[in-house]
Amino acid sequence: MEGAVISETVVAHISQVAELLLLGYCFYRFISPFMENTVGAFWSGGAYVLTMLLLFYIMPVPTDYFAKYGIGVLAALGVMCRAERKNYRQKTFLALTFFTLHWLAIATTEILYDNIYRFAEQTDFMAKHLELWYALYLDMCIIYRVMEFVFLACEIGYILKTYVYKYADMTVRELLMMLIPSFMGWAGFAIMQHFRFFYIMQTEEFPGSYDMLALLYYIVAAAAVVVVISLYQNIKAKQEENLRSELLAAQIDSIRQHIGQVESLYQDIRSIKHDMANHIFTLERLYSGNNTGEAKAYGQELKAALSRGAGEIKSGNPVTDVILQGMKNAAEKKGIKFHSDFFYPGDAGINAFDVSVILNNALQNAMENTSENGKSHITVSSYRKNSAYMIEIRNSFSGILQWDARSGLPVTTKEKTDGHGYGLSNIRRMAEKYFGDIDISLEDGEFRLSIMLMTG
């Protein structure tokens, strides 16, 4: 009998250590999609396990399990913040949410475990086979840990699936709103556990009806945490879509302005064309009177007028002409060298409006992010190869890119307001419309954006 007691104690310790290892793994899996530093996420899970082993076995602390697991989560949170020093509010939310989900999983498992164990103990089979009591205890320990892990894994899996904007910053108000279900879960858990154990101690019975109510509460509390996260993500998605719509409306207004400029340009050209006969007559009279110098000066003025009216850039489409010319003028005012080898493929079946959206977004990004070191430059070019139409925009760049693992695009350093942060995603959407994509690279101090559009 003494050997059996010792064996049960050993099994209990093994079960406890297995739980800590599984929790460390779950914590790592929970936070890793939110962190670019995957090694830091791994060590955060490791810190959780090591802290718990320290508190339970190496330097036992005379406090309850709730406090010990809380210390473990705080230690893991500290490693998270140390490994990746940004978005601290989101990291706080993740750590506290994991703490809540873990305890709700434990509470749910405990009720099921107690009732299953009690049912097995009361069967005639166990009454006739006393030698199997130790095996029953061993099996129930395994069942307990499996159920706990399954509940926690399901909760984490659903959250990771619904939590789309994993790299988005979280405001203080959002953090408080998101933690309300967790606080309610903690409070409810503490109250119900207290009454459950108090009832058992007083009556030495298992409160069946009370267990059913408690089980329902724990399931609803866990669901509340998950549902609030899902609703929060839906709100974020709606905000993103509204901002994209506002940006698209602003781009349409910009295109309308460009179309107006094109109409004005062609009005000037028609005006010059209308007066061309008079200009030619004047030149003929000057040359016939041997006023060569005056004729030459008059010709130079006429040439300059034609150049101002038609613009320097000839891309093959009046809309892209105006966009490129406007960007060139704006760049030169800022001391940025602008060079264009762009041409519009009129026979490729690509809408000029779609190309204008690409050029507007790409060149505005280039203008905003070009390094100002005396060698600032922007180059835009295009070419066709078989059925692929390629657009390339290059600009001098001396910064460091941070990448969004979800979208594969650089993370904007500006707030996502007034259209900032959506330029590249809009360019990608236009490329995908023509079964293409974009590629971004940083080489030799240049930011290079390549856009591929399939022409059929």
* pTM beyond 0.85: no
In the predicted model, is pLDDT for residue 426 greater than 70? yes
Compute the chain's Rg from CA coordinates.
35
Architecture per CATH, domain 312-454, reads as: 2-Layer Sandwich (3.30)
Could you tell me which of 109, 133, 34, 106 has the C-alpha nearest to residue 77?
Answer: 34
What's the confidence (pLDDT) of residue 416? 45
Higher pLDDT, 52 or 293: 52
Higher pLDDT, 426 or 312: 426
The pLDDT of 356-360, averaged and rounded, is 86
Could you tell me which of 107, 98, 96, 197 has the C-alpha nearest to residue 148?
Answer: 107
Contact, 232 vs 174, CB < 8 A?
yes
Spatial separation of the C-alpha atoms in residues 417 and 414, rounded to whole Å: 8
CA 75 to chain centre: 26
Could you tell me which of 338, 339, 343 has the C-alpha nearest to residue 315?
Answer: 343
Weakest-pLDDT range from 41-45, 359-363, 398-402 = 398-402
pLDDT category at 308 given cuts 50, 70, 90 is low
What's the confidence (pLDDT) of residue 418? 41
Weakest-pLDDT range from 30-34, 155-159, 297-301, 391-395 = 297-301
Composition of the chain by helix, strand, coil, percent to 5 = 70, 10, 20
- Give the residue ranges of DSSP H helices in 336-376: 352-369
Beta strand 388-396 with 377-385 is: antiparallel
Spatial separation of the C-alpha atoms in residues 363 and 76, rounded to whole Å: 43
CA 445 to chain centre: 26
What's the confidence (pLDDT) of residue 241? 79
What's the confidence (pLDDT) of residue 4? 46
In the predicted model, is pLDDT for residue 392 greater than 80? yes
Most confident of 132-136, 174-178, 268-272: 174-178
Map out the domains of the chain as residue ranges: 2-239, 312-454
Angular region, 349: left φ>0, alpha ψ -120 to 50, beta rest: left
What's the confidence (pLDDT) of residue 415? 46
In the predicted model, is pLDDT for residue 391 greater than 90? yes
Higher pLDDT, 7 or 158: 158
Structure tokens at 392: 């390339």
CA distances to 40, 98, 162, 210 from 25, in Å? 13, 12, 20, 33
Could you tell me which of 445, 365, 354, 366 has the C-alpha nearest to residue 399?
Answer: 445
Q: Identify any residues that bridge with 391 across adjacent strands, giving them in sequence order.
A: 382, 451
What's the confidence (pLDDT) of residue 317? 81
Spatial separation of the C-alpha atoms in residues 325 and 254, rounded to whole Å: 14
The pLDDT of 180-197, averaged and rounded, is 80
5-56, pLDDT tens digit by residue? Answer: 456 677 777 888 888 899 999 999 999 998 888 898 999 999 998 998 888 8
Spatial separation of the C-alpha atoms in residues 443 and 432, rounded to whole Å: 25
Residue 382 CB coordination number (10 Å): 22
Please name the helix (run of DSSP H) or strand (run of DSSP E) that holds residue 412, with its range, or none.
none
Cβ burial of 291 (10 Å; 0-12, 13-18, 19+) is: middle
* Percent of the chain predicted with pLDDT > 70: 76
66-108, pLDDT tens digit by residue? Answer: 788 888 899 999 999 998 888 889 999 999 999 999 888 888 8
Beta strand 337-341 with 377-385 is: parallel
What's the confidence (pLDDT) of residue 2? 43
What's the confidence (pLDDT) of residue 293? 72
200-210, pLDDT tens digit by residue? Answer: 666 666 556 77
Spatial separation of the C-alpha atoms in residues 160 and 33, rounded to whole Å: 8
Higher pLDDT, 1 or 319: 319
The pLDDT of 379-407, averaged and rounded, is 82
What's the confidence (pLDDT) of residue 405? 59
The pLDDT of 413-427, averaged and rounded, is 57
- Produce one character per residue of 172-196: b if its CB has 16 or more CB atoms within 10 Å, e if not: eebeeebbebbeebbebbeebbeeb
pLDDT category at 257 given cuts 50, 70, 90 is low
Spatial separation of the C-alpha atoms in residues 349 and 367, rounded to whole Å: 29
What's the confidence (pLDDT) of residue 411? 64
Spatial separation of the C-alpha atoms in residues 62 and 80, rounded to whole Å: 27
Beta strand 437-443 with 377-385 is: unpaired
What's the confidence (pLDDT) of residue 283? 64
Could you tell me which of 368, 345, 354 has the C-alpha nearest to residue 323?
Answer: 354
